[in-house]
A and B are shown apart, each in its own frame.
Chain A
Amino acid sequence: MNIIDRRLNPQGKSLANRQRFLRRAKEQVVKAVRDASGKRGIQDLENGEKVTIAAGGVREPSFHRSGSGGVRDYVVPGNKEYVEGDTIPRPEGGGGGRGNEGSADGEGEDDFRFVLSRDEFLDIFLEDLELPDLVKQKVKQTESHTLTRAGYSVSGSPANLSLVRTMRNSLSRRIALRRPKPAEIAELEALLREAEEAGEDPERLQELRQELERQILRSKRIPFIDPIDVRYNRFDTVPKPIAQAVMFCLMDVSGSMTEHMKDLAKRFFMLLFLFLKRRYGAVDIVFIRHTHEAKEVDEETFFYSAETGGTVVSTALEEMRKVIEERYPPQDWNIYAAQASDGDNMSSDNAKSAALLRDVIVPYCQYFAYIEVAAEHNMGLSALGRETELWRTYKQVQGPDRPLAMRRVRSRREIFPVFRDLFARDKVGA
């Protein structure tokens, strides 16, 4: 008999099969993922997801008899009271309480349910979305540098001394040149002392003394560490792409913004955050809310505290400029901004807002998305063609080379389509 321990064999033998399966079921999985994302909060989008897909595309058909019709005989155990010729009312859903067709594991063949890992989920969720790849980013890539290890060199600053490598060289040199070890010299000395005490043959004593002298000399001639042993860590400078981004969330919190509108805005912000996080190592978020004056706040306040006041959009833009100039120099950061508003603005402020946006904010940004949220029921007005103050103002700013996007959203269902629309791969750069 052989016993073989297979536990350490390479794991994930079925990975190739899983990839084939996902590829096969792609259409349905994508659809399921999109549906799932509509249903649940965007906060927990980042977790893996149990998706259910219709068994249609991944069904494995075979010739088998249908579950109904015809004459069937069963032999079953556990008779209690029946005698020949008894009749039994037909049980619900199939003959004789038999369940041998289809659902042996308690699951119908209609749906197929399985778990996607977090990465698989996000890959599919954000599939064919791309960040706007702008000129500014390309230029910046050459400006920042980072050091990476690039082997060893024989010269360098003491701080970069590679101890391990140096000692290894030293050891191999000492072994090659047969430098006596301290222990060997100590042993010789002990031997000599013993011989002296025992009063041995002077010739032998002489011999030992010479040997000791030779060894001591040898260990002096062959240094413990020689300059040729010394090695330094070598570093190369490589240009570093900027891996950090900051996302500005601007929102109008004046009285006209209802909870529903804020909820829509929040969903859009979360989606953008998720997306940026996939692309950048670190993403900072700055929340700026405004009424007739703007303030940078934390997330909790941003979404949940009520404010009253008029609506002056330019204050928020001004605040954003201030924050950028103080903390996020545009040459070091990729800047994204999303503004949510119901479209109200004080008429006198429109010109100022437009100027700020055109001359300051948009040039700083990789992308500026303006989302106009509306209550579900009164969307009719805008749909009829009445554009809001802010919409008209921003529209003037929009130009072919300005990364400014504007969309209207009125219900949760629309959030993801609008988001996709903004970042769909073929749109980018257009």
Chain B
Amino acid sequence: MTAVITKPGALIYDGVDWDYDTIKRVYDAIEHIALNEMGLNVYPNQIEVITAEQMLDAYSSIGMPLMYKHWSFGKHFARDEMLYRKGYRGLAYEIVINSSPCISYIMEENTMTMQTLVIAHAAFGHNHFFKNNQLFQQWTDAEGILDYLEFAKTYINQCEERYGYAAVERVLDAAHALMSQGVHKYPKKRTLDLRLEQKRERERQEYQEQTFNDLWRTVPRPAAGQRPPKSVSERKKLLGLPEENILYFLEKKAPRLEHWQRELLRIVRHISQYFYPQKQTKVMNEGCATFVHYQIMSRLHETGQISEGAFLEFLHSHTSVVFQPEFDDKRFSGINPYALGFAMMQDIVRIAEQPTDEDRQYFPDLAGRGDGMAAVREAWANFRDESFILQYLSPHLMRKLKLFSVRDDAEDPYLLVDHIHNERGYRSLRKMLARQYDLGFLEPDIQIVDVDLAGDRKLILHHRVTNGVLLDESDAKAVLRHIANLWGYEVQLVEVSAVSDAILKEHAVTAPSGVSG
């Protein structure tokens, strides 16, 4: 570690008020610790000061600074605003956007200590995670996202002017309903580059125009009706079925959509894909940011750059952020990702630097290797929540959190305690908790399995039911209605048991009447 430059006793700020000079000074002090002592690697930072109302605005447009217009954002704003004004709910201290430069919003009414905390948390913690985690590197384009949103907003505006609010709204409603089913879960060959989307589309068209050859028209075609019926597997292969990215399939293959409607689906799909890594790394992302702000604030305090009072204020809000109510507490609403992430990060440092015998047994590679910070950085770069928990959750932490697992079988009158934090239960508990963060397991597995383009064009979807938990019926029906509106023909959803392939339930929606939406 490098020597501390600041003399002890030289406070970088005092009191609760903030101004730009102080923020700049604090930022420099934090940057010094973050880059030189903790070895973080971040995108350039942009810090924006906003009001409470603007924070509510940002909430309603899923945290993005620009967003196209849609009633659902208005709905969320109306609800958030009411909850906030009636005092049911506070506002977040910050919002951070995975972009380059990395934009962090800080609220004007925060105290100076809170601003310091927020800068350490968002501008360095989250920022480092966005830049270094492999999921984000693979799936998101931090440089291009703002340009793409700008494009999306303008495009949707133009569509509204040209085709009317109602028509655009109908497509967007349907697309939003399918947002979770609009991501590629496994990487295709090329990485996604949002900024070049438009260009690529144009180039493809130009290429087709250049290579147009009139001769092809004269090649004799098989007479109508003589086409040999294709086998099911051939047909599926041609359509790229089965396909779990429903939005992608509809965008490419739905027979009755206009060009602009396909483009709207594409926009929603891209935005959904952009957020996919964030959904998979809640624990890690928040854990990383919380760990970073804790380290930085502690260092600032150790080196005498912030006062005791400021440090106490920090500890107060830090402890409430990482508070984990127990299962029988009224406040319990699942595991707090901040708490779990922060505890695990600290645990990794402990295992790397001061392991016990048990740790050596469970983590032979990690235990006692020294330099806990480097170990944590490696974890940040290479894992997502599920694999991170599977890899790093230690018996020590399980005991500390007193984790236990409960099996709820609807056919039994009682809940069964399956595993507890003891020698027999550690590995199972770890596996089960990891699965609790596996999106592939959390979200229902729904795929498009077949469509007969030559016949009645009925689209058939399968839901592979695990553990006998079926889809929520009324919602499923509503989503199917949306799919039918986009597809233009009948749609059927079959719930199939993953174990026995038995059909458990069927939902069907008829073709929309009249012109499809």
Query: Which residues of A approach B to under 8 Å, CB–CB?
Result: 1-7, 9, 11, 13-14, 16-25, 50, 58-80, 82-90, 95-100, 104-107, 112-115
Choose among A7, A23, A75, A86 the residue with the greatest number of B CB atoms under 10 Å from its CB. A75
Expressed in whole angstroms, the minimum distance between the Cβ of A238 and any Cβ of chain B is 36
Number of contacts between A and B (CB, 8 Å)?
Answer: 272
Report chain B residues within 8 Å CB of A90.
408, 413-415
Which one of B45-53, B228-236, B273-281, B305-313 is at the A interface? B45-53
Q: Which of B49, B179, B418 contacts A4 (CB 8 A)?
A: B49
Report chain A residues within 8 Å CB of B47.
1-4
Chain B 33-72, CB within 8 Å of chain A: the 1/0 string? Answer: 0000000000011111111011011001100000001111
A77 and B406 in contact, given A61-B177, A64-B444 (Cβ under 8 angstroms): no
Q: Which of B407, B410, B419, B474 contacts A69 (CB 8 A)?
A: B410
Report chain B residues within 8 Å CB of A74.
405-406, 408, 436
Expressed in whole angstroms, the minimum distance between the Cβ of B508 and any Cβ of chain A is 15
Report chain A residues within 8 Å CB of B179.
62
Report chain A residues within 8 Å CB of B332.
76, 78, 97, 99
CA A335 to CA B366, docked complex, whole Å: 89
Q: Which of A23, A66, A80 contacts B472 (CB 8 A)?
A: A66
CA A66 to CA B61, docked complex, whole Å: 27
- Smallest CB-CB separation from B180: which chain A residue? A62
12 additional contacts, CB 8 Å, given A61-B479, A74-B408, A87-B415? A1-B46, A7-B49, A16-B69, A63-B475, A65-B444, A75-B405, A78-B328, A85-B417, A88-B416, A96-B327, A96-B415, A99-B333
- Smallest CB-CB separation from A15: which chain B residue? B74
* B78 CB within 8 Å of chain A: yes
CA A302 to CA B442, docked complex, whole Å: 67
Number of chain B residues close to chain A: CB under 8 A: 103
Expressed in whole angstroms, the minimum distance between the Cβ of A308 and any Cβ of chain B is 49
Instruction: Give the 7 A-B residue pairs with the shortest CB-CB distance, closest first.
Output: A78-B326, A21-B74, A17-B74, A70-B469, A61-B478, A70-B468, A114-B78
Report chain A residues within 8 Å CB of B101.
2
* B108 CB within 8 Å of chain A: yes
Q: Which of A3, A19, A71 contacts B409 (CB 8 A)?
A: A71
CA A113 to CA B82, docked complex, whole Å: 8
Which one of B135-143, B211-219, B425-433 is at the A interface? B425-433
- Smallest CB-CB separation from B69: which chain A residue? A16
Q: Which of B45, B50, B74, B421 contacts A2 (CB 8 A)?
A: B45
Report chain B residues within 8 Å CB of A107.
79
- Smallest CB-CB separation from A97: which chain B residue? B327
CA A338 to CA B386, docked complex, whole Å: 72
The answer to whether A71 touches B60 (Cβ under 8 A) is no
Q: Which of A58, A73, A87, A98 contacts B432 (CB 8 A)?
A: A73
Q: Which of B49, B88, B328, B443 contacts A6 (CB 8 A)?
A: B49
Q: Which of B45, B48, B70, B475 contacts A17 (CB 8 A)?
A: B70
- Smallest CB-CB separation from A88: which chain B residue? B415
Report chain B residues within 8 Å CB of A86.
416-417
The answer to whether B471 touches A14 (Cβ under 8 A) is no
Between-chain CB contacts (< 8 Å), 28 pairs: A3-B20, A4-B46, A4-B48, A6-B48, A14-B56, A14-B57, A20-B69, A61-B476, A62-B475, A63-B446, A69-B470, A72-B407, A73-B405, A73-B407, A73-B408, A75-B405, A76-B332, A77-B326, A78-B332, A79-B327, A79-B420, A83-B417, A84-B419, A84-B425, A96-B408, A105-B83, A115-B78, A115-B85
The answer to whether A63 touches B73 (Cβ under 8 A) is no
CA A65 to CA B471, docked complex, whole Å: 4
Expressed in whole angstroms, the minimum distance between the Cβ of A220 and any Cβ of chain B is 56
Report chain B residues within 8 Å CB of A19.
74
The answer to whether B24 touches A3 (Cβ under 8 A) is yes
The answer to whether A63 touches B444 (Cβ under 8 A) is yes
The answer to whether A67 touches B472 (Cβ under 8 A) is yes
A63 and B403 in contact, given A84-B418, A104-B333 (Cβ under 8 angstroms): no
- Smallest CB-CB separation from A50: which chain B residue? B82
Q: Which of B50, B79, B468 contacts A113 (CB 8 A)?
A: B79
Report chain A residues within 8 Å CB of B334.
98-100
CA A9 to CA B53, docked complex, whole Å: 11
CA A113 to CA B404, docked complex, whole Å: 37
* B401 CB within 8 Å of chain A: yes
CA A17 to CA B468, docked complex, whole Å: 39
